[in-house]
Structure 1
Amino acid sequence: MSEAPGSRRPHSLVTRLLIAQVAPLALFAVVVLAVGAWTAHRVVAETADRLLAGALQTIRETVSVADGKVTVDVAPWTLGLLDGPERDAVFYSVREGGRLITGYEELPRLPDASSDAPIFADLSVRGVPVRMAQQTLTIPGRPAPVTVSVAQSLDSRRASLLDLYRSLLLPPTLLVLLAALLIWPALKWGLNSLKRLIDDLTRRPGPRADFAPADIDLAPREFQPVLTAFNHLLARLEASTSGVQRFAADASHQLRTPLSVVAANLDLLAGAPRTWTVRERRLIDDSRDAVAGMTRLVGQLLSTARADGARIKSSADLGRAARRAFQMAKARRSAPNGALRLRLPAEAVVVLGAEDLIAEQILNLIDNAFHHGAPPVFVHVRTTGAVCVWDHGPGVDEAALPRLTDRFFRAAPSQASGSGLGLAIVRTLAEAQGGQFGLSNRSGGRSGLVGRLTFQPSAEE
């Protein structure tokens, strides 16, 4: 089929990149880099091992027997082969069986050591990484073989390797940089035709407009099959959203019910009229804690799935939601009197949102305060449509504050016991209800973390 007059087929992106001839140059540079690095490492390692073996042989040749005893004459120049510009640390030892004749006790005997040829091993001596060569020597009439070991730190090896890298790998590096400089203008040239497609997608006004198909004529030919598949996906995405909501409800029933049964059975087992051993009691307690944690995690994950697609337009009593969260928090934790405190205004505060979701947000903030802070924990509802929850713990490092609402992020992973979802759910639910959520450390020299939820006033107020 011929093209319509005045129409213009988009240029091929692959053709433009091939014209630039960047790929062969970059591939050649990478191969040269890899071969050069491998060659340099092998040459330095083999040369240093030969020097180490030479020093070992020098010591072996001084081993002799005098007056029925094994003697060794290690002259100062014996280890001169290992002198290098970095002044490496050198260790040696001579043993007859398990008895040290001379040298350093820290050098171990390798199980594969023999008299045929030296063997090499990487280890640490006195906190210094070393390369050790070891070989045995059999002396007629002696009950055990003599083991000679020489070890050298790795400073000179590393310095020599660095010098080789600088001299051998500089040309390939320049080739890679040249390839990078060529790729950038080539990509800008090839992807310039996508600008109209990007502008079309970013100009879409509302959330429902995002499901409209993209214009495949705005992209290069190589992208047209991708955009066709993408348009088919968009056509089915809106319908699948309701399926996700139904799945969340079904998963809530299917997951929470068996966990509740297991928790109830463990409670009955713990209260059974028999004497449990310490180990059995610990296993039961660990199982109950695990079930409780899994139940909470399931609830958090389901709340996250529900919040991702939620757009709340109803009205809620902020004080009543805070009271519900306060009562739920007291019911499921054994805290002393005064550890959790609630402040409510005299009049009702009606805001835009769902009361059960607001209660869950406040409950998550209370749990976070008890898990990572310290009591007393305060819940304060303000007439301006805001809820503040703060504790008296150490607070959080300022650099970590912006990431606390990321899913599965923990400021101190080694000490955290939660799932890392609580604050992420609070933020997601706040956005779904048109509100805002912020975290800050208490000011004025006071310790503790403050979580602040701000909601829009309801039209029914």
Structure 2
Amino acid sequence: MRVTIRIKLTALFALLFVVLAGVLVTTAYLFVASATTPEAQQADRQRLLEEALEEQGVTLPAAPTPMPSGRPDDAVGEVLDSIAAQVRQNVLDDLLQRSLLAFALSAVIAVALAWWLAGRVLRPVDEISEAANMLSERTLDRRLPEDGPDDEFGRLRRAFNGMLTRLETAFDARQRFAADASHELRTPLAVLRASADNVLSSPRPSKQARELAEQVEQQVGRADSLMTSLLTLARADDVIHTREPLDLADVAAEVVSAASPRATDAGVAIDLDIADAPVLGDPVLVERMLANLVDNALRYNVEADGWLRCRVWSEAGRAFVEVSNTGPALAAGDIPALFARFARGDQRSEVAGHGLGLPIVARVARVHEGVIDAWPGDEGGLSVRVSLPVREEALAS
């Protein structure tokens, strides 16, 4: 069981009550026990008798000489003392039983009251936690009410609202920067691409001009792909995701269909095996995740007569997509490094890429509460499997 602050406060309040109640019961018992000893009772009776006689003007004579032991009066006294001791013990036992019963009932009531009181005290913290858990890029404008008392929780609310204001400002600035950078960078890239296309489409371009134009076009495509990947990472890092119902099977079919001409040109056979896999996610991010898996499988599929296999299915409340390919042999210990940004393994120079494909897959899976696994193929290549939670209404049906 998870030990919460409420449980700790309840235990602290209950322990404090138990200690105080224990001291009270012990003190009362000892007080009654000391007040009912034969000596104390004899002294009290003697004092009360003297006070009563003094009020009547009678003075008691000196105490008589004790009678020798063994006489009848001595036996009667012993019986009376025994009866008095038994009565005293019965009174103390009854007092102890009643005190313990009252102590147990009070302890139960005290624990219940401590639990309720701890909940009341921690309610503002629960409200702040709930507000923090519901935060997203669309709810940064929400604020906690500040009309309560000016205490520690009131100051915490104001500090939390101030943090939300700063986050909203920073988030808006970052979004504006991403949009402005995308717009400003795409324009010169489009100009460079158009210039390269003009050179390549001219009737008689020189060999040097053609080579330069082809190189420019290649680098422009690389820069455009890199910018798209960085913006996708920024979208995922900022958790800018509009969750909508979608099916991984439909997304995989579209991605594979778009990649089929490229696979045909590369001589790579595609095997598509899909079944219903309904999930709740950001369509843009999920499509980019599958596109990166397929693109990565094609990019590093350098074997002759290679193949690419894409499977989609669902089971046990999870939706799965698995992409496997042929390619260079990989060591299992080298696979985690492939999910680091700008890492491309041992094929950095042989294969064009910017090392953001698999990191984007991992990041998108993470923001969708997914799990990603990867392992080397028996004959080379890589297999990557991503599992996401199945949509709740699909589970209900």
Is 1:390 aligned to residue 352 of structure 2? no
Contact 2:263 2:270 (C-alpha < 8 Å) held by counterparts: no
- Confirm or deny: 8 A CA contact 1:373 1:395 kept in the other structure: no
- What's 1:343 paired with? 273
Structure 2: which amino acid aligns with 1:262? L
Distance 1:337 1:343, change over 3 A: farther
The DSSP-based 3-state class of the residue aligned with 2:389 is coil
- Taking a change above 3 Å as real, the CA distance of residues 455 and 291 of structure 1, as seen in their structure-2 partners, is same
User: Of 370, 382, 385, which residue of structure 2 is paired with 1:452?
Assistant: 385
Structure 2 residue 254 is matched with structure 1 residue 324: yes
Confirm whether residue 307 of structure 1 aligns to residue 254 of structure 2: no
Q: Given the alignment, which residue of 352, 356, 361 partners 2:284?
A: 356
- 1:352 counterpart SS class: strand
Q: Give the alignment of 1:259-298 within 5 angstroms.
A: 259-277=189-207, 279-298=208-227
Which secondary structure does the structure 2 equivalent of 1:440 belong to? strand
Give the deviation of 1:332 after TM superposition. Answer: 5.7
- Closer, same or farther: CA 235–296 of 1 in aligned 2, 3 Å: same
CA gap of 1:249–1:325, structure 2 versus 1, over 3 A, is farther
If each structure's strand is expressed as a fraction of its own residues, which one has the higher value? 1
Gaps of 5+ in 1: 1-199, 213-228
C-alpha spacing 1:395/1:363, structure 2 compared with 1 (3 Å): farther
Letter in 1 for 2:383: V
1:393 positional shift: 0.8
Is residue 2:356 matched to residue 1:421? yes
Paired with 2:343 and 2:323, the residues of 1 have a C-alpha distance of: 20
Residues 400-457 of structure 1: CA distance to partner in whole angstroms, max 9, x if unpaired? 2122211112322444531111111111111112222221112xx3322011111111
Aligned partners of 1:373 and 1:449 also within 8 Å = no
* Secondary structure of residue in 2 paired with 1:273: coil
Post-superposition shift, 1:353?
Answer: 1.3
Letter in 2 for 1:448: G
User: 2:307 — aligned with what?
Assistant: 376
Q: Cα 1:230–1:356, aligned 2, differ >3 Å: closer, same or farther? A: closer
Residue 208 of structure 1: CA displacement?
A: 6.6
2:265 match: secondary structure: coil
Question: Counterpart amino acid of 1:370?
Answer: L
How far off is 1:270 after superposition?
0.6
SS in 2 for 1:368: helix
Cα deviations by residue, 1:214-244 (Å, 9 ceiling, x for unpaired): xxxxxxxxxxxxxxx9997775124322332
Specify the structure having the higher radius of gyration (Cα).
2
Aligned residue pairs, count: 242
Q: What TM-score does the superposition give when structure 2 sets the normalisation length?
A: 0.53
Alpha-carbon separation, structure 1, partners of 2:279 and 2:134: 26
Letter in 1 for 2:367: A
Q: Structure 2: which 5+ residue stretches go unaligned? A: 1-124, 144-158
Structure 2 residue matching 1:389: 3-state secondary structure: strand
Is contact 2:199-2:205 (8 Å) kept? no
Tell me whether 290-299 or 241-250 shows the greater mean CA deviation.
Answer: 241-250
Q: Give me the whole-angstrom Cα distance separating, in 2, the residues matched to 1:231 and 1:355.
A: 31
1:424 is paired with a residue whose SS is helix
Q: Displacement of 1:245 after TM fit?
A: 2.8
SS at 2:198's partner residue?
Answer: helix
Change in CA separation of 1:379 and 1:393 when aligned onto 2, cut-off 3 Å: same
C-alpha separation in 2, matches of 1:332 and 1:231: 51
Which string of whole-angstrom CA distances, capped at 9 and with x for unpartnered residues, describes residues 126-170 of structure 1?
xxxxxxxxxxxxxxxxxxxxxxxxxxxxxxxxxxxxxxxxxxxxx
1:343–1:379 CA contact under 8 A, matched in 2? yes
Is 1:438 the equivalent of 2:373? yes
Greater helix fraction, Structure 1 or Structure 2 = 2
The one-letter code matched in structure 2 to 1:387 is V
Q: Which moved more, 1:421-430 or 1:349-358?
A: 349-358
